[in-house]
Structure 1
C-alpha cells in the first residue's frame, strides 16, 4: 500500500481546513505591508511594536519631524485641557448630597442659677399660748410651761392678766356667731389668764400638737389636754392655729417691747444648724 506523502491530506480533513492551513503556510514577510510577521486576531492583523518602530525609522526625516511635532502638540493640548478641567472643578461650588443637621447653640441665660439648699434651716416662729382660768386655778402653769421648755422652745414673754369683755370678744371674733360664744366669754372672765409668747422652729404647728385636740376626749395621752382635761368647756389652754393669727394675737395681748429677745444656753444642744 502506498504511504501518504508530505503533501498528502488525510482523508478526514475537510477542504476548508486545508485551504486555511495553506494560507498560513504561504504567509511570508511580504504578506504584511510593514514587513515582518503579522499576527491575526479574529481575522484583523495587528502589527507588533517592533514592526511599528521599524516602519517609523524607515520614514524620511521631514515626515518623522512632522509626526514628532504633532505628537508633542497633542501632549501639550491634552495637559492644557486637563488643567482647565481641574481649575473648573475647584472653582465650582460643591453641593453636599448629605442631609444637613442644624445644631442649635444654647445661649447663656440671663437668669442666675438657683442653688437649692436642702439642709435644715432655722424657721423661727412665735406663737401665742394662753392658760385659761381653769388651768390657772388648778395650778397647771408650771407643768404647761415645763412641757414647752422640755420640747426646746424659748419663752420670750409671760404675764398674768385679767382682760375685759371687749378684749376677749376681739380675741374670739371668729366665734362671735356661734351659740356658745356668750358662755365662752363669761368663762374667760371668771379668773386670771396666763398669757405667753413661745419662740422656736415651727412653734405654731408644734405648739398645737403639744396642746392636743380642742376636745380633750379626742386628745392623745401625752398632750396637755389629753393629760389634764376632760370637758371641751374646760380644756385648760389656748394656742394660735396659724402664723397669721399668732401675729394678731401677740399684738392684741402684748405691747411693743414686752417680748424679750435672748439666746438660751441650750440653743446649740437643741438645733443642729441655725
Structure 2
C-alpha cells in the first residue's frame, strides 16, 4: 500500500469514526475490510464474468453470513432476480449497474471475529467443583503467552458440555491486559451461533482451564485454556464482563 493509500485510509477512518460514533481503531478496521474487497463495476452489462460472479458472491457471503456456495447461487440469478442484481437480507436488492463499489453490513460472525472479547480476569474465583483459586495478573499473562492453538486449540461451546458436543468456533489467540483481564480473538465462528449470541440467548461467557497437572495440558505447571462456554440461563462465576459489541457501526 502506498503512502497515498495510507493517507486516504486514515482520512476515511477518521470520517467514519465521527459519523458512526466509534473508535478510530474500529473505524480503521471497518475501512480496511472494505478496501480489501474487490470493486464491482458492471456498467449495465447483461451478464457477469466469472471474476464478477466471484466478487459479487464474496460480498453477498459477507453481508448475509452465508456460505460462499449459497452466495454464488444468489448472485448467479437463481430466483426472481436478474444477472445484474441480487438480494441480500441486510441490504435489500443491490444493483451493480454503474456502481464503482458496494458497501456491506458485516455478519454477526465476522463482528465477533473482529474484536477482543473478555473471558477471564485476575482475582480469587470459585471453580465449578467448589475450589477457591487465586489468579494474579502475572498468572493471566502466563496463560495468554502459553496459549498455542497449533498444539491445542480451545473451542467455543454452549455451556460446559460433554465430550461429544460440537464446536461453534475456535479461539485464535489470547491477550492479557495490564489490569489482569484475559481477552480472546476468535475465528471460524458459525453464523447461526453468532446470531444466537447477538440475540442474547448465550450472552455471558465462562472460561474452562486444564488444571496444572492434568493429562493433556500442553503447559504442565500452569493453567491452559480448555474451552470458552457461552452461557444462557446459568449465571457465570465471574460477573461484570462486558457484552460482545454487535453495534451496526462496526
- Tell me the TM-score range normalised by the shorter chain: under 0.3
- Who wins on radius of gyration, i.e. which is larger? 1
- Kindly indicate whether structure 1 or structure 2 has the higher relative contact order, using CA contacts under 8 Å at least 6 residues apart: 1
TM-score (norm: length of structure 2): 0.24
